[in-house]
Amino acid sequence: MDLLANIPYPQWLNPGDNAWQLIAATLVGLMSIPALAVLYGGLVQKKWIVNTMLMVFTGFSLTLVVWVLYGYNMAFGTAAHLGGNDFLNNLVGVPHTLLNAASSQGQAVSDTNTVVPFHFPTATLAYFQFAFAAITPLLFLGGLVGRLKFKAWLVIVPLWISVVYVVNAKLMWGGGFFALKGAVDFAGGFVIHLSAGVAAFVGAAIIGPRLKRDRTTVPSNLMMVAIGAGVLWMGWNGFNGGAPYYAGADTGSAILNTNLATAVAVLTWVFMDMTLTKQKKPMFLGAINGMICGLVGITPSAGFVNGLGAIIVGFLCTFVVWFAWNYLSRVRPFSKVDDALGVVFTHGFAGLVGGLAVGLFADPKMAVYLADDGKSAAFSVGGWFYTHSFHQLWEQFLAAVWVIGYTAVGTTIVFYIAKVIVRGLRETDEVLEVGDLAMHDEEAFPTETFAERVSALSRY
Amino acid sequence: MKLVVAILKPFKLDDVKERLKALNVTGMTITEAQGFGRQRGHTEVYRGAEYEVDFVPKLKLELEPRRVSVLNSDSESTTKVVGRFKA
């Protein structure tokens, strides 16, 4: 065999792009595990830590299996032509697996990107997109913790990915109807955050509230919140930085913009707490809410806006969500639904405001991809601020209406199916009184003093 | 000889311990406790919601009679020391 003929990768593969995409995917994965596990674990009551963390880890696993078996191709594969119009013909992809060598190592192809070919294999794109799919149910889990049956969760995640997520992803990203019409979502402000916010709210309404006691007790651990939030922020560099699919100039812009918007958002929330609350004090959990508003808000526009746009988006998202969190939460329907961690505000409202902001502040000079001359933009987005046209805002608005409506209907269907399958979505009050110990025979901080082993593992 | 029980503000423990040692007290028992008195509780705010916390951390100090040396057998001075630092 001629050794010179051995090459590590095919012609179409660019090692820099492939390496970056896999690192970005891993960063996004870290946002789920451990970031959301410990962030949510720190925000829930002490007796719900184990349950919450277990739901995060199992939800992540469930989505990956679904994704490889059929989910990826429903969202990003060849369109299944379901009917005689653009909408139905581009609603979902043909479901098939990624289990053989060709489907894993072949060049990634997607209707998403017709400007330049992907420079990495399907396995890379599928894993990157999996990390996004996986975090979405974990985000809406924040609205459901503290009363959801564990078995119900095991049914809800695969169903929701199959019914809701793949359709929104196809329509916005996978070359579907809204993508064709010109709506854009840089890294998931609509597909992930707006959708998760709506699902959290609708799901929480269907399941019913937590026990009164759990609604009125303090969070378990603010240091865990700090760790989770910090990993979330830095992980977002992969979230928004991976969205261009190339380790290019716009990747740098997207990451810098993401951090800039977030910094402004944190400071805005802290400043609002210091001036507009009764206590007039800066609060850590307020800063974290601001951080999430900034990260979520800049997600739909990270590589479409310039630095000034990022500052405006960061400020605007926190400004709106702060008022929603403190005032809108007191009026119907928000006051009647126990969205445990307030996902509808920090993800739903922030995702909506951020997604609409694309139509206002996207700078056409911010080139996502370049034309043949290597200078001018082959793909960029222009908002009202630069084009004096409301066209992009209108497209963003239509896509937002779809995501809100479809997610609400889809989530309702999924939750009622799960309710029938596992006979009720809410644990009994008896179990809820105890929490982790009743559901899992474990607690987050076991007491050493009184615990004595009474049975050995069978292998001894 | 009496069992001396005192409830202390946690940060006062070192002072009390040193003074008692100086009186030749040879040991003591400390329990972490929660309580409120004149000090009352306080309010905490998490994510915009207010929580009333009535009880604040205290330390419960117990001195068994046998720990008090013969030099201070009436335990009067021991009580005085603890009394000075009591919460």
Contacts of B8 (CB under 8 A, 6+ apart): B16, B58, B59, B60, B61, B85, B86, B87
A217 vs B contacts (CB less than 8 Å):
51
Rounded to a whole number of angstroms, the distance from the CA of B47 to the nearest CA of chain A is 6
pLDDT in tens, A31-72: 999 999 999 999 999 999 999 999 999 999 999 999 999 999
B83 or B48: whose pLDDT is higher? B48
ipTM over the 0.90 cut-off? no
Fold adopted by B4-85: Alpha-Beta Plaits (3.30.70)
Handedness of CA A7, A9, A13, A15 (dihedral sign): negative
Best of B32, B44, B46 to disrupt the A interface by mutation (most A CBs within 10 Å)? B46
A325 vs B contacts (CB less than 8 Å):
48
Q: Binning pLDDT at 50, 70 and 90, where does residue A277 land?
A: very high
pLDDT in tens, A98-147: 998 888 899 988 665 556 789 999 999 999 999 999 999 999 999 999 99
In contact, A173 and A75? CB cutoff 8 Å = yes
pLDDT in tens, A290-324: 999 999 999 999 999 999 999 999 999 999 999 99
A429 or B38: whose pLDDT is higher? A429
A335 vs B contacts (CB less than 8 Å):
none
Residue in A207, A195, A205, A208 with CA at minimum distance from that of residue A410: A195
pLDDT in tens, A232-275: 999 999 999 999 999 999 999 999 999 999 999 999 999 999 99
Which residues of B have a CB under 8 Å from any CB of A? 44-48, 51
Best of B32, B42, B44, B47 to disrupt the A interface by mutation (most A CBs within 10 Å)? B47
HSE-up of B82 (CA within 13 Å, CB side)? 18
Residue in A142, A284, A267, A295 with CA at minimum distance from that of residue A225: A284
Cis peptide before A8 (omega within 30 of 0): no
Q: What is the rounded distance in angstroms from the CA atom of residue A331 to the CA atom of residue A335?
A: 5
The CATH number assigned to the domain with range A13-440 reads 1.10.3430.10
On the question of pLDDT at A380 being above 90, the answer is no
A219 vs B contacts (CB less than 8 Å):
46-47
Is B45's CB within 8 Å of A281's CB?
yes
In contact, A406 and A164? CB cutoff 8 Å = yes
Question: Which phi and psi angles does A378 have, rounded to 5°?
Answer: -85, -30
Nearest to B48 among A43, A218, A325 (CB): A325
Residue in A427, A437, A438 with CA at minimum distance from that of residue A146: A427
In this prediction, residue B36 carries a pLDDT of: 84
Residue in A188, A185, A237, A244 with CA at minimum distance from that of residue A377: A244
In this prediction, residue B74 carries a pLDDT of: 53
Q: Binning pLDDT at 50, 70 and 90, where does residue A427 land?
A: very high
The full set of domain ranges for chain A reads 13-440
The full set of domain ranges for chain B reads 4-85
On the question of pLDDT at B18 being above 60, the answer is yes
In contact, A406 and A386? CB cutoff 8 Å = no
